[in-house]
A and B are shown apart, each in its own frame.
Chain A
Amino acid sequence: MSRHVDTVTDAAADPNAAQPFAELGLKPDEYQQIREILGRRPTSAELAMYSVMWSEHCSYKSSKVHLSQFGDKKPQTDILLVGIGENAGVVDIGDGWAVTFKVESHNHPSYVEPYQGAATGIGGIVRDILSMGARPVAVMDPLRFGAADHPDTRRVLPGVVAGIGGYGNCLGLPNIGGEVVFDSSYQGNPLVNALCVGTMRHEDIHLASAKGVGNLVVLYGAKTGGDGIGGVSVLASETFDEGGPAKRPSVQVGDPFMEKLLIECTLEVLHAGLVEGIQDLGGAGISCATSELASNGEGGMHVRLDAVPLRDATLTPEEILMSESQERMCAVVTPEKIDAFLGICRKWDVTADVIGEVTSTGRLVIEWHGEIIVDVPPRTVAHDGPVYNRPLARPDWQDALTASGSSNLARPTTAAEIRDTVLTMVASPNLAAKTWITSQYDRYVLGNTVLAQPEDSGMVRVDEVTGRGVAVSTDCNGRFAKLDPYNGAKLALAEAYRNVAATGAAPLAVTNCLNFGSPEDPAVMWQFSEAVRGLADGCLELGTPVTGGNVSFYNQTGDTAIHPTPVVGVLGVIEDVNKRTPMGFSAAGDVVLLLGETRDEFDGSEWAHVVHGHLGGVPPQVDLAAEMVLAALLVDLGGRGVLTAAHDLSDGGVAQALVEMALRRGVGVTISLLADTDAFVALFSESTARAIVTVSPANVDIAISAAAAAGVVVTRMGSVADAGSDMVIDNIAGSSVTLSLDELSQASEATLPALFG
């Protein structure tokens, strides 16, 4: 099969040829901008490159103007070794150790093909971490699905879970946490976010830049196939005659075994000092890797595209440039070291080919069998894409939503009603145990998992000698963000921050995955701008810099967008993981203390959602100063060995937290509410900046005086009972409620298997 390839010479000779830029997603003015940059029409290969690199996903063209706040409002800090803009930010955690972590979305592919979409989401984020020079050590998955009982959720969820497990387990990375949230707003737009944590020594940090004229560009890993090409197929169908390749799936297909080899091979070449610059191949494939490497380095690169090893010999150059085949990496290697580099690749049975070299021309030149098909300034592809200041407008329904608070909803008052409410809440899909999901993930591999789900944060040991480790939590309450995107983002940050501190780790840095509807809808754009402003302000106040993240727009069906969902991941450091604080009750007689103040706050709460299907009003008050004081107290008391357990208070309030603490190790508790409190408010309010802790009787005074010194309100709630005993709550409307752990466990554990088992 022969086909005339559109060369630079052709483009000059035939400047007015019609090109399918609109089908590739480029606007007329964007196409015009490309023509101005090049001084001619782009070749079809150039058009393909620009179209995909200038896409929303790769260029952040709608979000850039807002995301700059993360830099502008960056807190004073010296922990950032690598900041925003690289594949992932890198944080100094002390003792010469560095940690890189990042969360990304793979929402749309996971809706189309749940298993592969979710699997390759893990694969992509792991390569981002690897390309910084770090060994990936753990993954987490914040997931959101439509209503739990909707038939399509039954289609999507099991596939997503199997894909995360199938890929992550085979890769040998422990899955240490995440979230599973059900809400009908995600119907048709499930959110599959993936977070990876990697560790390295400071001196092992690597960056994506093609330095050193004459150095070689090596493509290694899987061969390039026709998967994940997406819209670029339009080019082929425009220019192909009969007999061209069939349209291929636009969802990539993952091979975790190859990724495992790629990890080991990459770490070996990095540690052997054989690499000048490195970049993973993800979205936009070779287009992205070559243009970013060149743009970050000497500025020029010459690539022989026909040297790329292919799974399918019929692929066109445009398709090769765009392919999102998984498990590929690109490295820049000096000619002196290339043999050693290729030798290590052979040891790991990893295909590796030199596809080009670094030049000083300032141009990215790509040839195909001797003809030049791309000749562009790489920066215009990789970094200088269009930037939009999209119109934004506070939605016209926002006031009505805010006005529709939860105060008129019928509340349980009697002990019997409270008891029923506890059981209803415990069994509701968002609060029920996620064992059916998390038991499909390996949490043990690598042998450094100190805490994993359902603990408040996942924690891994980084240094086996000193015990230094890190904790990570991801959180977001999309209902709160819908009610108030600015404070909703701050609340997500506050919750993740609190969760990390509850385990005894000091919060250090932030990553985020901003999931929203269409940026072309001014209401969505307003939500986005408010959420970014809230997160940036919150990070400044807490002193935790944003190290990187990801934006996912177009999570929308028709005019209906998802709840704004700014998922926030907080990373904390703990000097000795042996001193971590677990969440479960352990020793009978330990005293249960509530830290923080409880207010009557039910708008957007899990109770309003579960019992009344209601969403309206204003979310709980966010007080980041109080969060900082509480977190410092939790870290201090945890580190001094005063706390035997700690658990953050969030969805479902005190009642849910007590149930979770009791069920964790099957140990009961007896609580006595204060005489003058409203039992319903005390048990179900979702006021922030609160935690429940337990301390041995000998340490009660120490804990109470430390809290008092910090200005944290302490309430003595009761004491831990024997293993297997009941959960008892006294002083509810003159009566008491007794729930057996069996009853609670059954309510909590049965829900997901009944829906998905």
Chain B
Amino acid sequence: MTSGMRIGVVTFPGSLDDRDAVRAVRIAGGEAVALWHADANLHSVDAVVLPGGFSYGDYLRCGAIARFAPVMTPLVDAAKGGMPILGICNGFQVLCESHLLPGALVRNDHLHFICRDQKLRVESTSTAWTSEFEVSQEIVIPLKNGEGGYVADEKTLDQLEAEGRIVARYLDVNPNGSRRDIAGITNERGNVVGLMPHPEHAVESLTGPTTDGLGFFTSVLTSLVNR
């Protein structure tokens, strides 16, 4: 059964988890639409996923070049207009570089790339991408990054806390030195979410540690129906 909702998945040069994001959208019941970095057109999608990977090799700062891709112009406008946008890992970095989300992602404090099944606590269910979770629900989804340490100045961190814009926190282990164990944040409106762990890798019990990641994709489909 599909919801009839069209979720765009952007491919930049060096995007790696775009196929996974497409699969997750499909399993959640949405229609996945491939979007190309060089095409300044969102093709009437209802929401967009910026997938993980190493856009442009991440040879400058992660996400710093992708932010200038033609597709980002209509995407930034749409985000400001309320379209649900989820940036996963490299996509989170692109959202920060695009100033759709505050702060930045820096090299892991232990200096190694890390891939692990990560426990998280969902802190906010008032975003377009987390509405189907329970507040304080504990989930396990894969995490894999080399530059996943979330940083922002203290004032911004305080503001994120005060406004309930921390979407998820790391539990048990802080895998990358993120400030205040932050794994994901949202914008003021709650439509743009950046997440360092990978929900698209936890949508099938066959290939993922859990199917906890599916909630992010079913949430957006539900919130689109209910808008």
**Chain A residues within 8 Å of B, Cβ to Cβ:** 162, 165-166, 169-172, 255-258, 260-261, 348-349, 438-450, 461, 464, 577-578
Asked whether A447 lies within 8 Å of B19 as measured between CB atoms, the reply is yes
Q: Chain A residues near B144 (CB, 8 Å)?
A: 169, 442, 444-445
Asked whether B115 lies within 8 Å of A442 as measured between CB atoms, the reply is yes
Contact of A439 (CB < 8 Å), options: B59, B115, B207 = B115
Q: Chain B residues near A447 (CB, 8 Å)?
A: 19-20, 23, 200-201, 204, 207
Minimum CB distance partner of B14 in chain A: A257
Scan B112-134; emit 1 where CB is below 8 A from any A CB, else 0: 11111000000000000000000
CB-based closest 6 A-B pairs: A257-B57, A172-B16, A447-B20, A444-B201, A170-B54, A444-B142
Could you tell me the distance between the alpha carbons of A261 and B55 in the complex, rounded to whole angstroms? Answer: 11
Show 26 residue pairs from A and B whose CB-CB distance is below 8 angstroms, ordered by the A residue: A169-B54, A169-B146, A170-B16, A170-B54, A170-B57, A172-B16, A256-B54, A260-B54, A261-B14, A439-B112, A440-B114, A440-B115, A441-B113, A442-B115, A443-B115, A444-B20, A444-B144, A444-B198, A444-B207, A445-B201, A446-B19, A446-B20, A447-B20, A448-B207, A450-B207, A578-B206
Could you tell me the distance between the alpha carbons of A244 and B181 in the complex, rounded to whole angstroms? Answer: 55
Taking the nearest CB of chain A, how far is it from the CB of B59, in angstroms? Answer: 7
Interface check B70, CB cutoff 8 A: no
Contact of A445 (CB < 8 Å), options: B14, B17, B58, B208 = B17
Q: Chain B residues near A450 (CB, 8 Å)?
A: 206-207
Those of B183-215 within 8 Å (CB) of chain A:
198, 200-201, 204, 206-208
Taking the nearest CB of chain A, how far is it from the CB of B11, in angstroms? Answer: 9
Could you tell me the distance between the alpha carbons of A448 and B208 in the complex, rounded to whole angstroms? Answer: 9
Minimum CB distance partner of A444 in chain B: B201
Could you tell me the distance between the alpha carbons of A166 and B144 in the complex, rounded to whole angstroms? Answer: 12
Q: Chain A residues near B146 (CB, 8 Å)?
A: 169
Taking the nearest CB of chain A, how far is it from the CB of B58, in angstroms? Answer: 8
Asked whether B201 lies within 8 Å of A257 as measured between CB atoms, the reply is no
Q: Chain A residues near B20 (CB, 8 Å)?
A: 444-447
Asked whether B115 lies within 8 Å of A257 as measured between CB atoms, the reply is no
Q: Chain B residues near A162 (CB, 8 Å)?
A: 112-113
Q: Chain A residues near B58 (CB, 8 Å)?
A: 170, 257
Could you tell me the distance between the alpha carbons of A578 and B59 in the complex, rounded to whole angstroms? Answer: 39
Asked whether B206 lies within 8 Å of A445 as measured between CB atoms, the reply is no
Size bracket, chain B contacts: 20 to 34
Asked whether A257 lies within 8 Å of B13 as measured between CB atoms, the reply is yes
Q: Chain A residues near B17 (CB, 8 Å)?
A: 172, 445
Asked whether A169 lies within 8 Å of B59 as measured between CB atoms, the reply is no
Minimum CB distance partner of A443 in chain B: B115
Taking the nearest CB of chain B, how far is it from the CB of A583, in angstroms? Answer: 16
Could you tell me the distance between the alpha carbons of A261 and B56 in the complex, rounded to whole angstroms? Answer: 10
Interface check B53, CB cutoff 8 A: yes
Asked whether B57 lies within 8 Å of A441 as measured between CB atoms, the reply is no
Q: A440-B114, A445-B16 are in contact. List 11 more A-B contacts (CB 8 A).
A: A162-B112, A162-B113, A165-B113, A166-B113, A169-B144, A171-B16, A261-B13, A440-B113, A443-B115, A445-B17, A447-B201
Minimum CB distance partner of B22 in chain A: A447
Scan B129-172; emit 1 where CB is below 8 A from any A CB, else 0: 00000000000001010100000000000000000000000000
Given A257-B14, A450-B206, A172–B53 Cβ distance below 8 Å? Answer: yes
Q: Chain A residues near B142 (CB, 8 Å)?
A: 444
Could you tell me the distance between the alpha carbons of A440 and B138 in the complex, rounded to whole angstroms? Answer: 25
Taking the nearest CB of chain B, how far is it from the CB of A757, in angstroms? Answer: 8
Taking the nearest CB of chain A, how far is it from the CB of B110, in angstroms? Answer: 8
Taking the nearest CB of chain B, how far is it from the CB of A140, in angstroms? Answer: 15
Q: Chain A residues near B115 (CB, 8 Å)?
A: 438-444
Asked whether A260 lies within 8 Å of B14 as measured between CB atoms, the reply is yes
Those of B7-54 within 8 Å (CB) of chain A:
13-14, 16-17, 19-20, 23, 52-54
Given A444-B142, A461-B207, A257–B113 Cβ distance below 8 Å? Answer: no
Could you tell me the distance between the alpha carbons of A440 and B114 in the complex, rounded to whole angstroms? Answer: 5
Asked whether B57 lies within 8 Å of A255 as measured between CB atoms, the reply is yes
Could you tell me the distance between the alpha carbons of A257 and B58 in the complex, rounded to whole angstroms? Answer: 9
Asked whether B206 lies within 8 Å of A577 as measured between CB atoms, the reply is yes
Taking the nearest CB of chain B, how far is it from the CB of A210, in angstroms? Answer: 30
Could you tell me the distance between the alpha carbons of A258 and B54 in the complex, rounded to whole angstroms? Answer: 11
Could you tell me the distance between the alpha carbons of A450 and B209 in the complex, rounded to whole angstroms? Answer: 10
Contact of B207 (CB < 8 Å), options: A257, A258, A438, A449 = A449
Taking the nearest CB of chain B, how far is it from the CB of A461, in angstroms? Answer: 7
Could you tell me the distance between the alpha carbons of A282 and B199 in the complex, rounded to whole angstroms? Answer: 37
Contact of A348 (CB < 8 Å), options: B13, B116, B206 = B13
Could you tell me the distance between the alpha carbons of A172 and B19 in the complex, rounded to whole angstroms? Answer: 11
Q: Chain A residues near B206 (CB, 8 Å)?
A: 450, 461, 577-578
Could you tell me the distance between the alpha carbons of A445 and B200 in the complex, rounded to whole angstroms? Answer: 10
Could you tell me the distance between the alpha carbons of A439 and B146 in the complex, rounded to whole angstroms? Answer: 11
Asked whether A257 lies within 8 Å of B54 as measured between CB atoms, the reply is yes
Minimum CB distance partner of B55 in chain A: A257
Asked whether A440 lies within 8 Å of B207 as measured between CB atoms, the reply is no
Q: Chain A residues near B54 (CB, 8 Å)?
A: 169-170, 256-257, 260
Could you tell me the distance between the alpha carbons of A577 and B204 in the complex, rounded to whole angstroms? Answer: 13
Asked whether B13 lies within 8 Å of A349 as measured between CB atoms, the reply is yes
Q: Chain B residues near A171 (CB, 8 Å)?
A: 16
Taking the nearest CB of chain B, how far is it from the CB of A457, in angstroms? Answer: 16
Q: Chain A residues near B116 (CB, 8 Å)?
A: 439
Could you tell me the distance between the alpha carbons of A729 and B115 in the complex, rounded to whole angstroms? Answer: 34
Taking the nearest CB of chain A, how far is it from the CB of B197, in angstroms? Answer: 11
Q: Chain A residues near B19 (CB, 8 Å)?
A: 446-447
Could you tell me the distance between the alpha carbons of A442 and B54 in the complex, rounded to whole angstroms? Answer: 13
Could you tell me the distance between the alpha carbons of A166 and B17 in the complex, rounded to whole angstroms? Answer: 16
Taking the nearest CB of chain A, how far is it from the CB of B115, in angstroms? Answer: 5
Taking the nearest CB of chain A, how far is it from the CB of B28, in angstroms? Answer: 14
Q: Chain A residues near B14 (CB, 8 Å)?
A: 170, 257, 260-261
Taking the nearest CB of chain A, how far is it from the CB of B72, in angstroms? Answer: 17
Q: Chain A residues near B57 (CB, 8 Å)?
A: 170, 255-258
Could you tell me the distance between the alpha carbons of A162 and B16 in the complex, rounded to whole angstroms? Answer: 19
Q: Chain A residues near B114 (CB, 8 Å)?
A: 439-440
